[in-house]
């Protein structure tokens, strides 16, 4: 009888293990199985950590919050946060909220919020406020990126001196042979508001203006001994290009760790096209619910 019970228990355990459906799996750069603990261990040694997200993926946002909390436990006052989701000209109002000068409602009214701010980014901002962590609005104002998409990088020269404070120092150089920009150019141009035409090259340059500006504000707010955790769409840091290309040009000695978030029908079999795309690859089921 005891033997039968033991067999049943073992069978039940095995069935439960087989039936388990993890919400994510973590892989190394070469798509070898890894773990959150190993990813966090490397993150703790980085000067700058890029969490490349899928904007509408709730698991990615949950993991961002966990990484934020765990890095804060290790770094305390030496942790700095930053995000693509906040434009540089909103730094004042972001700081006012972090310091408790204005309310959350005032902050959300005054700043240019993404539609999923409340569910996906507010938890990180509120954690920063509670623990007095600097949070940097790194992205170029969207109106300036729009200028570039229509008129190229030279269009930024017309900005006032005040306007230029929200952009990477001019002139912004770009290498359009980098795979991310080259792929974007393959998609061709498009028509904008009012019938204006945006060339494929200018669309890639607009992307570069974002990458260069984010790199600029990351470096401006990082110093030796600090750790900067940056949240952005994976395409801004994948293949160690985008933002990282500009960072390495300015400071080749930076230790940078990256995370790429992907969606797969079977997260146990990540697509080999993602090999080498980041220091760590987080695979999430493609049928995961979306934030929006």
Taking the C-alpha atoms of residue 149 and residue 201, their distance in angstroms, rounded to an integer, is 8
**DSSP state letters, 50-93:** EEEE-TT-HHHHHHHHHHHHHHHHHHGGGEEEEEEEEEGGGHHH
Reported as a single tens digit per residue, the pLDDT across 34-86 is 999 999 999 999 999 999 999 999 999 999 999 999 999 999 999 999 999 99
Closest CA to 139 of 26, 217, 67: 217
Residue 194 has pLDDT above 60, yes or no: no
Confidence of residue 187 (pLDDT cuts 50, 70, 90): confident
When pLDDT is averaged across residues 24-37 and rounded to a whole number, the result is: 98
Reported as a single tens digit per residue, the pLDDT across 256-291 is 999 999 999 999 999 999 999 999 999 999 999 999
Helical H segments across 76-171, by residue range: 91-98, 104-110, 122-130, 142-151, 161-164
Evaluated on CA atoms 184, 186, 190, 196, the torsion sign reads positive
Residue with tokens 């000068």: 101
Q: Count the neighbouring beta carbons within 10 Å of the beta carbon of residue 143.
A: 12
Residue 5 has pLDDT above 70, yes or no: no
pLDDT of residue 20: 83
Reported as a single tens digit per residue, the pLDDT across 108-150 is 999 999 999 999 999 999 999 999 999 999 999 999 999 999 9
Please state, rounded to an integer, the average pLDDT across all residues of the chain: 92
Strands 190-191 and 197-198: antiparallel
Contact 267, 88 (CB under 8 A): no
Tokens standing for residue 173? 């150089």
Tokens standing for residue 274? 């993602």
pLDDT of residue 274: 98
pLDDT of residue 189: 54
Taking the C-alpha atoms of residue 97 and residue 95, their distance in angstroms, rounded to an integer, is 5
**Number of residues that make up the chain:** 292
CB-count burial class (<10 Å; 0-12, 13-18, 19+) for 12: exposed
Contact 290, 54 (CB under 8 A): no
pLDDT of residue 193: 44
Cis peptide before 171 (omega within 30 of 0): yes
Taking the C-alpha atoms of residue 207 and residue 97, their distance in angstroms, rounded to an integer, is 29
């Amino acid at each position: 009888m005891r033997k039968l019970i033991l067999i049943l228990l073992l069978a039940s355990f095995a069935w439960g293990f087989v039936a388990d459906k993890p919400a994510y799996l973590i892989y190394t750069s070469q798509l070898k199985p890894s773990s959150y603990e190993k990813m966090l261990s490397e993150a703790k040694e980085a000067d700058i950590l890029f969490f490349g997200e899928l904007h509408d993926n709730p698991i990615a946002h949950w993991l961002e919050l966990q990484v934020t909390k765990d890095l804060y436990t290790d770094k305390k006052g030496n942790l700095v946060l930053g995000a693509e989701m906040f434009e540089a000209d909103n730094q004042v109002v972001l700081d006012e909220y972090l310091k408790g000068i204005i309310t959350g409602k005032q902050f959300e009214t005054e700043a240019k919020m993404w539609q999923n701010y409340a569910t996906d980014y507010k938890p990180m901002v509120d954690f920063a406020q509670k623990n007095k962590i600097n949070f940097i609005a790194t992205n170029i104002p969207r109106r300036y990126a729009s200028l570039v998409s229509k008129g190229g990088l030279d269009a930024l020269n017309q900005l006032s001196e005040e306007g230029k404070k929200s952009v990477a120092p001019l002139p912004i150089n770009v290498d359009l042979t980098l795979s991310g920009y080259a792929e974007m150019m393959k998609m061709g141009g498009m028509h904008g508001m009012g019938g204006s035409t945006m060339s494929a090259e200018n669309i890639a340059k607009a992307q570069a203006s974002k990458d260069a500006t984010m790199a600029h504000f990351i470096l401006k707010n990082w110093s030796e001994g600090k750790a900067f955790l940056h949240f952005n769409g994976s395409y801004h840091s994948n293949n160690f290009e985008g933002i990282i290309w500009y960072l390495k040009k300015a400071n080749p000695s930076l230790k940078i760790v990256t995370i790429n978030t992907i969606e797969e029908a079977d997260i146990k079999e990540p697509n080999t096209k993602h090999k080498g795309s980041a220091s760590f690859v987080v695979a999430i089921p493609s049928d995961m619910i979306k934030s929006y």
